[in-house]
Amino acid sequence: MATPQPQPLQDRVAIVTGSSRGIGREIALHLASLGARLVINYTSNSAQADSLAAQINANSATPRAITVRADVSDPVQVKSLFDSAEQAFHSPVHILVNSAGVLDGTYPTIANTTVESFDRIFAVNARGAFVCAKEAANRLKRGGGGRIILLTTSLAAALKPGYGAYTASKAAVEAMTKILAKELKGTQITANCVAPGPVATEMFFEGKTEEMVNRAVQENPSGRLGETKDIAPVVGLLATDASEWVNGQIIRVNGGYV
């Protein structure tokens, strides 16, 4: 009988923030299918996070997924997130995927964006990505297999009205990622962004009228909204050794939206 081939992420430890639902959930499932051991991070959806962990652990003799509540904008909680991963799996963390994000579902113009909304969006999207990437840069395994993957948005290229604070927060992440990739020289840790276009998730549909949704479909050459399964395999590729020559890049996964 042939010896089974190891999976691409066999026993590597991956933290996926914001993975109780949406794109983050699909990414966690995909990385698990590639052999990774998962830390499922959430802030409020504990039941959904527990359900995902149970799904991943269902056919395994030993736990391959744990859940950890942490606010990505809080350095103390993010440190605890990495500590929990190392303690649970007796291994350094190999992969960080930062998928946590928020937007303003009223889609205000910049002139009508409140300072409170701006601060909330930047706290999660920009500060959260910074805090997680900072911890990862100091904690990920050196010498191979280290991957920092931050989710941004194709709106950073499309520049649509109504998304001023959200787009600005993600554009900041893209700039940081390109710099981080250079600063990690010699570690064999790569840093990249995956920038989805419109994807059919709770966050995308928040506050949108049917007309707004239809417009997003019509503007896409592919003639549909993206699905979470369109995004996860791209993140999966970036997490594997096959992507070691991809570094400091913004990969827009959007069906031709921009």
**Tens digit of each residue's pLDDT, the chain (258 residues):** 666 788 999 999 999 999 999 999 999 999 999 999 999 999 998 999 999 999 999 988 899 999 999 999 999 999 999 999 999 999 999 999 999 999 999 999 999 999 999 999 999 999 999 999 999 999 999 999 999 999 999 999 999 999 999 999 999 999 999 999 999 999 999 999 999 999 999 999 999 999 999 999 999 999 999 999 999 999 999 999 999 999 999 999 999 999
Overall pTM surpassing 0.85 (yes/no): yes
Cα distance between residue 97 and residue 109, in whole Å: 30
Token pair belonging to 255: 């069906």
**Per annotation, catalytic residue among 42, 107, 163, 166:** 166
Q: Is 206 helix (H, G, I), strand (E, B) or coil?
A: coil
Task: Give the count of beta carbons closer than 10 Å to the beta carbon of residue 112.
Answer: 12
Cα distance between residue 17 and residue 37, in whole Å: 14
Cα distance between residue 219 and residue 249, in whole Å: 25
166 is catalytic: yes
